[in-house]
Amino acid sequence: MAEYILALDQGTTSSRAILFDHDGRIVGKEQQEFPQIYPQPGHVEHRPEDIWNSQFDVALNVLKRSRIPAEKIAAIGITNQRETTILWEKETGKPVGNAIVWQSRISSGICQRLENAGYEQRIRELTGLVIDPYFSGTKLTWLFEQSPDLRRRAQNGEILFGTVDSYLVWKLTGGKRHITDISNASRTMLFDIHQQKWSPELLEMLGIPEQILPEVVDSSGVVAQTDPALFGRAIPISGIAGDQQAATFGQICFEPGMAKNTYGTGCFMLMNIGSQPRLSNNGLLTTIGWRIGSEIVYCLEGAIFIAGAAIQWLRDGLQVIAHASETEELAASVPDTDGVYFVPAFVGLGAPYWDAEARGLAIGLTRGTTREHFVRAALESIAYQTRDVLDAMNRDSGIRLERLRVDGGATSNNFLMQFQADILQTEVYRPVIQETTALGAAYLAGLGVGFWNDQNELSHKWALDQAFRPACSVDQSEKKYAGWRRAVERSLQWEQS
Ligand code: ADP
């Protein structure tokens, strides 16, 4: 009798494997970091072999350490760092180079060219995305422009492309399946989110041979079986979604208007907007959440590049703290920041500003400014950026969000969560299970094999750890937020290209 779902969570800095039981509880967890490669400033790469080896290792280890044989695994769910781009040889499975990681700005010149050519509006209409090196499409253009030989081989059908989900499925099936789920496809900038098909127009615009593309599949349902040599028996792969979409599913945001925000290195807020792909007028992305059978769910997404990373910078760059967890007490030891604002625009600003030339600033400093004020301003910046995105979402959707579900490493900070509720004037709900990304992949996989019956059954599993309710007045909140907006104004367009 199969009793567990194995979720593979292939993240940017580490690979995790988590076993969930029928109640959605974690019964085993393994994690392994792998090397980050920075060939030049702004370029980030991973070795595909490291991605695979670390992911397969943790999968084997979690089974071994939990003493759970492969026979007890009902299905595998996969969730992954999105947009990261891998090319490999069809014949040998050998990668043709390193994976170009989502953070890489390697294709910024190509993006500039597309903008200059006036493609912005058309790309938005088709994909719901803005032109940015973040997405896979221009990374591929860059690779093919580097090597005419690679292009020739790709045109001959010798080369395959995939995001990380696609590469993992290829490896897990011993090269039998070349697929990607629709949520990952929607992040490539090559996918028509209305037609739910690869777009010939975009492929031509970006100069990409269509022979390299994977088949697009649902996010839930059996799409492959693992090579029996790997786990001693074939296990169905029945759930795949990009990490943020999986977290949205894991947070049970099943109804239009429900939203979650993940507080990790960056912040990613996604709101379920139902079965119609509405485009944003306020700097958000429209993306595919998941598709199950013929039922598709679209989301609005606000991507903030620097959130928890600002706290890492306090630790490693400024060296004013030793551990991220110290920030809670330091921030709470002062009544406010004494007028200090910190805008962590280290790599420009994402949603809703999309200003690659913005840079970080601290303003409002006086002789009275202390370390505590500064640390507090850094935490507050995470909440303010989230407010920027939530306001945009409220405007786009016409829905005023009453409750925000949260997850990610920085949500353990109670000061931050309370300040967030104050600044949003919205309730902030933190669930018991923080591994919502892996949980979402497990839910998709479990639904795909009938381990769970339907989404309604899953809805009952969401359990609250703590709710944070607005505790300051609207006036106070608005006054503070107005200061943030003034500070952001001053950070924009700083770097002159
Ligand atoms: P990721 O998956 O992006 O690596 P995690 O969800 O593991 O991120 O969260 C780690 C991030 O959260 C780090 O950037 C770290 O600085 C931040 N963080 C962790 N604990 C706290 C805390 N108590 N207060 C504020 N930030 C924190």
Does this model's pTM top 0.95? My answer is no
83 Cα: distance to centroid of ligand 1 (angstroms): 21
Q: pLDDT-derived band of residue 108, with 50, 70 and 90 as boundaries?
A: confident
pLDDT at 40: 85
Higher pLDDT, 12 or 241: 241
Is the pLDDT at 175 greater than 60, yes or no? yes
Residue of the CA atom closest to atom 13 of ligand 1: 308
Ligand 1 atom with the shortest distance to the CA of 262: 6
| pLDDT tens digits, one per residue of 436-447 | 999 999 999 999
Instruction: Give strand pairing partners of 4.
Output: 73
Whether 159 is in the pocket of ligand 1, judged by its Cβ within 6 Å, is no
Is the pLDDT at 497 greater than 60, yes or no? no
96 burial level (CB within 10 Å; 0-12, 13-18, 19+): middle
Is the pLDDT at 312 greater than 70, yes or no? yes
From 10, 36, 311, the mutation candidate for ligand 1 (largest count of ligand atoms within 8 A of CB) is 311
CB-CB contact of 253 with 260 (8 Å) = yes
pLDDT at 12: 87
416 Cα: distance to centroid of ligand 1 (angstroms): 12
Residue found under tokens 């769970």: 452
Whether 413 is in the pocket of ligand 1, judged by its Cβ within 6 Å, is yes
For 209, the token pair is: 């041979």
Whether 410 is in the pocket of ligand 1, judged by its Cβ within 6 Å, is yes
Cα separation of 129 and 112, whole Å?
A: 15
Whether 327 is in the pocket of ligand 1, judged by its Cβ within 6 Å, is yes
Is the pLDDT at 262 greater than 90, yes or no? yes
402's CB contacts (< 8 A; 6+ apart) are 426, 427
| pLDDT tens digits, one per residue of 279-296 | 999 989 999 999 999 899
132 Cα: distance to centroid of ligand 1 (angstroms): 25
329 burial level (CB within 10 Å; 0-12, 13-18, 19+): exposed
379 Cα: distance to centroid of ligand 1 (angstroms): 11
Summary mean pLDDT of the chain? 95
From 18, 262, 263, the mutation candidate for ligand 1 (largest count of ligand atoms within 8 A of CB) is 263
Helix (H, G, I), strand (E, B) or coil at 251: coil
96-124 average pLDDT score: 93
Is the pLDDT at 471 greater than 80, yes or no? yes
Cα separation of 384 and 391, whole Å?
A: 10
pLDDT at 299: 96
Q: Which of 47-56, 193-202, 395-404, 430-439 has the lowest mean pLDDT?
A: 395-404
pLDDT at 115: 93
264 Cα: distance to centroid of ligand 1 (angstroms): 5
| pLDDT tens digits, one per residue of 184-194 | 999 999 999 99
Is the pLDDT at 1 greater than 80, yes or no? no
| pLDDT tens digits, one per residue of 195-222 | 999 999 999 999 999 999 999 999 999 9
Residue found under tokens 């507080």: 263
DSSP characters over 93-144:
--BSS-EE-TT--TTHHHHHHHHHTT-HHHHHHHHS--S-TTSHHHHHHHHH
Ligand 1 atom with the shortest distance to the CA of 309: 14
389-394 average pLDDT score: 94
DSSP characters over 289-355:
EEEETTEEEEEEEEEES-SHHHHHHHHHTS---SSTTHHHHHHHTSSS-TT-EEE--BTBB-TTT-B
pLDDT at 354: 87
Whether 147 is in the pocket of ligand 1, judged by its Cβ within 6 Å, is no
| pLDDT tens digits, one per residue of 319-370 | 999 999 999 999 999 999 999 999 999 888 988 998 878 999 999 999 999 9
How many other CB atoms are there within 10 angstroms of residue 279's CB atom? 13
Whether 325 is in the pocket of ligand 1, judged by its Cβ within 6 Å, is yes
Tell whether domain 4-244 is in CATH 3.30.420.40: yes
Q: Cis (ω within 30 of 0) for the bond into 352?
A: yes
Ligand 1 atom with the shortest distance to the CA of 311: 16
131 Cα: distance to centroid of ligand 1 (angstroms): 28
Residue of the CA atom closest to atom 20 of ligand 1: 410
pLDDT at 168: 98
First to last CA, the chain: 61
How many other CB atoms are there within 10 angstroms of residue 412's CB atom? 15
pLDDT at 402: 81
Distance of CA 11 to the CA centre of its chain: 9
Cα separation of 448 and 223, whole Å?
A: 9
For 39, the token pair is: 């060939």
Residues in the chain: 497
Q: pLDDT-derived band of residue 434, with 50, 70 and 90 as boundaries?
A: confident
Core vs surface per residue 470-492: b (16+ CB within 10 A) or e: beeeeeebeebbebbeebbeebe
Is the pLDDT at 417 greater than 80, yes or no? yes
